Structure 1
Amino acid sequence: MITFYPAKKPLPSLLAVLALAAPVSAKPVFKPGTALAPPAEGLTGSQAPAISVDLMKQITRRLSADDFEGRAPSAATEPRVLDYIVSQFKAAGLQPGNKGQWLQEVPTVEIEGKNQSPLTVTGGKTPLSFSFGDQWVGASYRVTPRTAVKDSPLVFVGYGIVAPELGWNDYAGIDMKGKTAVILVNDPDYAATGEQGLFKGRRMTYYGRWTYKFEEAARQGATGAIIVHDTFPAAYGWNVVNSSWTGAQYYVQTPNDAMDQTKMNGWVQKDVAEQILAAAGKNLATLTKAAQTKGFRPVPLGLNASVSFDNAIRKSTSHNVVGVLPGKTRPEEYVLYSAHWDHLGRCTPDKTGDDICNGAVDNADGVAALTAIAKANVEAGAAARSQVFLAVTLEESGLLGSEYYAQNPIFPLSQTVGGVNMDALAPGGRVRDYAMTGGDKSDLTDMFRSALKTRGLVEAPENDPEKGGYYRSDHFSMAKRGVPMFAIDRGIDLVNGGKAAGKAANDDYTANRYHQPSDEYSESWDWSGISQDVELFYSLGRQLADGTSWPNWREGDEFRAVRDKSCKGESGC
């Protein structure tokens, strides 16, 4: 799990996050001559090879041991961690997945801003100046020793969204070259109580994520991008933004050192934005209301922004581990399974002086589940499609291992049917319910619901859909490039103890172990809930691997267009 809450995935809710890619659609995209896979009712837990709990215990125990020092990427312990994971992949019967090699290099860059100037705004009756930290924060994606934005014209662009499938363009009719975008947080439907609306109501879409807003500003050619923080639509306070943007930032290295990105991405407090707009003779509340209506057009403010800071740069390299089980009849089609192997390394000591964040739940047991599923598939015999097993790095730094794989896929994403992502499988009892993180985004929802029915389970609503948890886990790196990804979260309705016991267990982990030295392995763990998760993961993943369907996103989903585009080539879906 990731340290910056708004940037990444939510705290575990009796966590069993399944990222299954490739949904089964109302209007699916197929290769000529193929048919839908058999319904999930045809797959039951009894048909799958037994998932080895002993193997999962062994791997979790070893990966979370003190001598691995919390599995920090690029640390001195990384080679030993990688050697162990490779040895387990070999023992499970996998083949090296990267052109005969087990590892994929992941080059990263750490950039820490220093000596930040105030954010100054001129062009109104009097100049405005806002201090770094308490009024504005910002950083640069560009790998450059100094960032300087001088007299960049400010443009209010509403929610900063370009969604052709919805007929929405907040940048319509303006050239952003040299300009700085002022952007509202979340998306236009954030205040809804239900999920009705162009942007799925209260449920956050990708267009509401701050990461999207900075990406879109760069695509528009903007020099800078500033998001207006507001606690209710953001679902977190300024303290979270402040703590996350005043230290080092981590990115995947790119050949052009990210020079195609904006010079500066930042945030301002809501009252700062109100002052800026007032200086332009505008009202933030009035413009916010206007921005919630289709047809909104950007508003040049007649003001100029300036800011500067130095950048301390450190480059490093970590690694993904890649294994493959080649398919029998369609080896050029792929199903992807993933789990992140990294954790926080040494961290704030507890009252006993223990400063190793072992990450047993987050995510040693995810890697254990990944390996156990690989072994079960080998024992069952190769599926029709190839199955790729990916232990990714740098999840805690911003999904960077999965992001690098998605940018540089070993197996083409246009030939990747989907996949299963495993993260933070909480020990505990079996449950009666599972929830879909992200809601009904894709055709795979049908497969999920059928699998629940087969197992006598019920579908639970996702907790806090407005927080955008779907966009803060490793499966998202694939999803935003069109590979249909589906996340499933184990519910809290325990077979023994019900919802009260489940909620208490969830709250206990969040308060007392999440990202703390106390996230340690214990021989007293109850593995029955984890086993229930992994049986489901195996069954759904195997159905994808043995099937012939090429599932897609629902009509109107933000990732539908990129999947459709990738499916047009002869080699793709």
Structure 2
Amino acid sequence: MPRTSLVALSVTALLAVAGCSAPDKAASSALPDVQFPELSLQTLQDATKELSSDAYEGRAPGTAGEEKTLAYLIRQFEAAGLQPGNDGKWTQDVPLVEITAKNATPLTFTGGKTPVTLQYAKDYVAFSYRVQPKTEVKDSDVVFVGYGINAPEKGWNDYAGLDVKGKTVIILVNDPDWQTKEAKGEFNGRAMTYYGRWTYKYEEAARQGAAAALIVHDTEPAAYGWNVVESSNTGTQYLADSQNGGADQTAANGWIQLGKAKELFASAGQDFDKLREAAGKKGFKAVPLTGVKASLGFDNAITKKLSHNVVGILPGAKRPDEYVLYTAHWDHLGRCTPVNGDGICNGAVDNATGTAALITLAQAYQKAGAPDRSVVFVAVTAEESGLLGSEYYAANPIFPLAQTVGGVNMDALNPNGPAKDIVVVGRGKSELDTYLEKIAKAANVTIVDEPTPEKGFYYRSDHFSFAKRGVPFFNFGAGQDLVEGGTDAGKKASEDYEKNRYHAPADEYAAIKNWDGMLADLKLFYAAGRMLASTDAWPNWVKGDEFRAARDKSRPTK
């Protein structure tokens, strides 16, 4: 789903860190000292005010607002002493594709005891990642593949011994142990892993050669109702364009209602509930729905646009070929549904503040002098359309990911005032935990666990594009226990933002009343990146983490 809840979490209690394993005392003692510099509040305010003004029309990719944004960021990066990051250029082209499904037929399953028909939007949704004018799946064999997971590090493969080329796979949402109350187990229990995300399930189905991948919607493990599925998947979908036009993807991806899934399985002579229970145990074998054929079709309206990431670099003093990244998305929603006559979604907090933070931190780094490693500042596009700018950079890195130590992602700084705590999303994943603990101790703030790990927020912001390719990333901000007013004040302020300003025209510069919390965030961001850039260590994911294999394959060996 689009990140409809993520910024609310970012503001209410965000510290999404790619990793928080048990502390390693030896590693901790070797970490550089924490530095908290003086940062320019004036720069942060000026840049936020400029980027969120009506002149930028909400900073939608591919618009005049993008042109203004790029020009402003280039001027500011250059004035801050950065060098162009892309072989003498300040920008990286990001080709985008808009695909809108139209004229969808019903999804039909034939060959069972009785035909089963699903109506578009009401009973199923589907879309395509293939850039082609028409999508058709006709008389495709149907296979239930459980949770659709292939995790070698866990000895788990729902596709073992199975050939699904040209077939339609039915997949369960979330992880096999999602009902576990604690964040413990094969797949971290109630704390969702990437294997539980719908994006992974489509990716794995494509790798297996499936024609179509259909996820069974169930509100509790999905963490959202069918209304969210319907609204998010029946309109325009956004992709980063590729050379093969998505030819390596499934022809169709989608969701089906739980009740219709049960009806389908009964028609095939199977008990859905029993198979779902069996799929939660290691060693589960996929079950073909013998004789059942799936058919669906829809047209695709296709529009191509060119957007851009902005990239600046401060070369390292000792090891310039090793890189630490700072990322923030510059885009927002552009023109949107008017409220009281205002039809521009300015995105002041989300994410003019994060983009302004890039400029502010670049100034601070230049003033302090280059650290040992190079520091790269990347303002990415199309986050609001599905992390497309960061995904494009990570898939086409300007600086090799094998030489990228880690990074810090900044998405919506804290407008509520300084807090006494930071909330960790994804705790227990990587060796960055030792850095975080040292930073928190120096800043005199408390680390607390994520309250809703089952919602998978770790996989919904730009840092994830790098994490899934093995690069550990910080992404953090303040918790709810405010210095002034405590948790009651923090909760009230967060709820007010989510209700009245998030993804709405009211998210404007004038609505930001407190900048102290943002400066507090920025000092932590600076410390995290500076520590990574001042050591010769290469943080890794903990053993058994879903991203460990990618890091082990790519990172330099000493």
The TM tier, using the shorter chain, reads: over 0.9
Who is 2:500 aligned against? 512
User: Within 1, Cα distance between the matches of 2:473 and 2:350?
Assistant: 21
1:341 matches 2:330? yes
Gap change, CA 1:238 and 1:156, over 3 Å in 2? same
Gap change, CA 1:222 and 1:346, over 3 Å in 2? same
CA contact (8 A) 1:20 1:421 kept: no
Gap change, CA 1:366 and 1:4, over 3 Å in 2? closer
1:11 to 3, 8, 23: 8
1:320 to 309, 318, 332: 309
Q: Which runs of 5+ in 1 are unaligned?
A: 29-34
2:132 to 144, 167, 188: 144
**Amino acid across the alignment from 1:254:** S
Who is 1:470 aligned against? 458
**Amino acid across the alignment from 1:130:** L
Gap change, CA 1:85 and 1:24, over 3 Å in 2? farther
1:101 matches 2:56? no
Deviation string, structure 1 residues 469-517 (Cα, Å, up to 9, x no partner) = 0100000000000101233242100111000000001100000100000
Gap change, CA 1:304 and 1:10, over 3 Å in 2? farther
User: Within 1, Cα distance between the matches of 2:31 and 2:520?
Assistant: 16
- How does 1:37-436 map onto structure 2 within 5 Å? 42-45=33-36, 48=37, 50-302=38-290, 303-350=292-339, 352-436=340-424
User: Within 1, Cα distance between the matches of 2:338 and 2:448?
Assistant: 37
Deviation string, structure 1 residues 189-214 (Cα, Å, up to 9, x no partner) = 11111111100010000000000000
**Amino acid across the alignment from 1:473:** S
Q: CA deviation at 1:125?
A: 1.9
Deviation string, structure 1 residues 50-104 (Cα, Å, up to 9, x no partner) = 1101100000000000111100100122111110011111111111000000010
User: Within 2, Cα distance between the matches of 1:436 and 1:292?
Assistant: 27
Q: CA deviation at 1:21?
A: 6.1
Q: CA deviation at 1:13?
A: 4.4
Gap change, CA 1:440 and 1:23, over 3 Å in 2? closer
CA contact (8 A) 2:191 2:456 kept: yes
Gap change, CA 1:100 and 1:437, over 3 Å in 2? same
User: Within 1, Cα distance between the matches of 2:242 and 2:512?
Assistant: 45
User: Within 2, Cα distance between the matches of 1:459 and 1:380?
Assistant: 28
Gap change, CA 1:23 and 1:377, over 3 Å in 2? farther
Q: CA deviation at 1:555?
A: 0.7
**Amino acid across the alignment from 1:42:** D
CA contact (8 A) 1:362 1:423 kept: yes
CA contact (8 A) 2:58 2:346 kept: yes
SS of residue matched to 2:92: strand
Who is 2:549 aligned against? 561
Gap change, CA 1:188 and 1:23, over 3 Å in 2? closer
**Amino acid across the alignment from 1:339:** A
SS of residue matched to 1:423: coil
CA contact (8 A) 1:22 1:551 kept: no
SS of residue matched to 2:39: coil
Q: CA deviation at 1:26?
A: 7.4
User: Within 1, Cα distance between the matches of 2:488 and 2:24?
Assistant: 40
**Amino acid across the alignment from 1:5:** T
User: Within 2, Cα distance between the matches of 1:293 and 1:40?
Assistant: 41
Please give the TM-score of this superposition, normalised by the length of structure 1: 0.94
Q: Which runs of 5+ in 2 are unaligned?
A: none
Count how many residue pairs are aligned between Structure 1 and Structure 2. Answer: 557
Gap change, CA 1:164 and 1:523, over 3 Å in 2? closer
Q: CA deviation at 1:440?
A: 1.6
Q: CA deviation at 1:3?
A: 4.2
